[in-house]
Amino acid sequence: MFLEERQKAILDYLDKHETGSVQHFSNIFNVSKETIRKDLSALAKQHFIIRCYGGAMILRHKLVSSIAHKENIASLLTRYKKQKTKKRGEKMNGNICILGSFNIDIVAQVSRFPKGGESILAQRSLIGPGGKGANQALAASHAEAKVHFVAKVGTDQFSQFAHNHLTLSKINSFTLYQSEKEPTGNAVIYVSEENGENMIAIYPGANLTITDEEIAMLESNLKQSDILLVQLENNIDAISNAVKLAKAVGVKVVLNPAPYSKDVIQLIPYIDIITPNETEASLMSGIEVNDLDSAKLAAEKIHSLGIQTVIITLGSKGSLIFDGKEHQHIKPFLAVSVDTTGAGDAFNGAFCASLAKGESLYQSATYASAFASLAVEREGASNMPSHQSVLQRMANK
């Protein structure tokens, strides 16, 4: 067995059993204890495991302030000479890697949005976890995918908050890098009681400081994933290298182009599925999307830019899939809208979870639609429903 294969097998074992001894690995792989110790040291340097007496244990939740073993992203990408594509029918295992943002959301629930220069009293206020990446990771884990989440926070008190939040969640594993210079990102959100609509100002902070070496560290996790899901709340060079690496190792790439940036154009060659909302689809296609017909035209335009599958989310009007051949409208599930913040995140996380479990585009978007309809009935962008309640809603339709 080759070194790389053996180290992967050790990781798989530890993922299943949490701990393992040098003696045990030496027996099952039929190599010396010294060889196993070297393997474990290499895996520990990459922050996958921690060494403990006589063996090692899996490290699922990492707060990383500096990387010991630095891999050069350019040479890593050239090592994979050409892009691999998953063969048709190749088994999907329900594994998703999500690179994205973590923000502290400061939410004020108001009876209506204030006008410029006006101060109004909020009805309620809450401070909690958010960020499109973290919300989507949470949604995918509630939808019962095995999620590895990667984000970057500051060294302030919110980094510990992020670590605690993610550790207590259903997310299988995560790596939180830390920036010495920038604080943890935050978002100031108004939610109107009139209709559950929101207004958001985001300060990305550490989310925009992901380095090439931190992206290179994704290699092993990507190799075990069926899908990489990204959004646009991180620095574009990091997102760009992540999608290139994903394609190079044969992983499907889903881009939620939110919040919209013209930089999306450079990502197109590496994207399999794009999921804009109405605003993002309008900006990307130059066609104003306000109903199903205009959404169809915009989807065709976006497809013609070079993306195989376009899914436009249409809020309470549901969503539209275009795969280059036909349009499919996913009707919305009826919901009592309380807070639409994070509806798109709920949709994206649930959609990828379903797709990673081998469901079709149509089935996955239908599941995501039911999932998101439950999410808009809950307060807070990261407040996701359970898989069981989604199945119940689908059965009741």
**Which one among 159, 186, 309, 313 touches ligand ATP, defined by CB under 6 A?**
313
**Which one among 234, 373, 382, 383 touches ligand ATP, defined by CB under 6 A?**
373
Nearer Cβ to ligand RIB (7/186): 186
By C-alpha distance, which of 212, 220, 272, 269 is closest to 249?
220
User: Residues in contact with ligand RIB, total (CB under 6 A)?
Assistant: 16
Tokens describing residue 315? 């809020």
User: Residues in contact with ligand ATP, total (CB under 6 A)?
Assistant: 24
**Which one among 128, 315, 379, 389 touches ligand ATP, defined by CB under 6 A?**
315
Q: What DSSP designation does 213 have?
A: H
User: Could you give the CA distance from residue 279 to residue 287 in angstroms, rounded to a whole number?
Assistant: 10
Nearer Cβ to ligand RIB (20/100): 100
By C-alpha distance, which of 296, 320, 310, 319 is closest to 372?
319
Quote the strand ranges of the chain, DSSP E.
19-21, 49-52, 55-58, 61-64, 95-99, 103-110, 124-130, 146-153, 173-178, 185-192, 198-203, 227-230, 252-255, 273-274, 309-313, 319-322, 327-330
By C-alpha distance, which of 385, 132, 382 is closest to 368?
385
105 binds, among ligand RIB, ligand ATP, none (CB under 5 to 8 A by kind): ligand RIB
Contact flag: residue 107 with ligand ATP (CB under 6 A): no
User: Could you give the CA distance from residue 342 to residue 347 in angstroms, rounded to a whole number?
Assistant: 9
Contact flag: residue 381 with ligand RIB (CB under 6 A): yes
Tokens describing residue 355? 């797709």
Subset of 321-350 contacting ligand RIB (CB under 6 A): 341-342, 344-345
Contact flag: residue 202 with ligand RIB (CB under 6 A): yes
Burial class of residue 275, CB neighbours in 10 A (0-12, 13-18, 19+): buried
**Which one among 318, 349, 380, 385 touches ligand ATP, defined by CB under 6 A?**
318
Subset of 223-252 contacting ligand RIB (CB under 6 A): 233
Nearer Cβ to ligand ATP (354/369): 369
314 binds, among ligand RIB, ligand ATP, none (CB under 5 to 8 A by kind): ligand ATP
Please state the closest distance from residue 134 (CB atom) to ligand ATP, in A.
13
Contact flag: residue 191 with ligand ATP (CB under 6 A): no
**Which one among 184, 340, 354, 382 touches ligand ATP, defined by CB under 6 A?**
340
Subset of 289-328 contacting ligand RIB (CB under 6 A): none
Contact flag: residue 132 with ligand RIB (CB under 6 A): yes
SS3 288: coil
Residue type, 364: S
User: Could you give the CA distance from residue 383 to residue 135 in angstroms, rounded to a whole number?
Assistant: 8
372 binds, among ligand RIB, ligand ATP, none (CB under 5 to 8 A by kind): ligand ATP
Subset of 2-41 contacting ligand RIB (CB under 6 A): none
1-21 residues labelled b (16+ CB within 10 A) or e (exposed) = eeeeebbbebbebbbeeeebe
User: Could you give the CA distance from residue 270 to residue 215 in angstroms, rounded to a whole number?
Assistant: 16
Contact flag: residue 372 with ligand ATP (CB under 6 A): yes
SS3 226: coil
User: Could you give the CA distance from residue 30 to residue 297 in angstroms, rounded to a whole number?
Assistant: 60
**Which one among 20, 55, 94, 131 touches ligand RIB, defined by CB under 6 A?**
131
**Which one among 154, 257, 332, 385 touches ligand ATP, defined by CB under 6 A?**
332
Q: Are 151 and 124 in contact (CB under 8 A)?
A: no
Question: Which helix or strand (DSSP H or E) is residue 57 part of?
Answer: strand 55-58
* N-to-C CA span, the chain: 51
Contact flag: residue 384 with ligand RIB (CB under 6 A): no
Applying CB under 6 A, the span of 19-27, 262-270, 372-380, 383-391 interacting with ligand ATP comes to 372-380
Residues forming the site for ligand ATP (CB under 6 A): 198, 258, 277, 313-316, 318-319, 332-333, 335, 337, 340-345, 347, 369, 372-373, 376
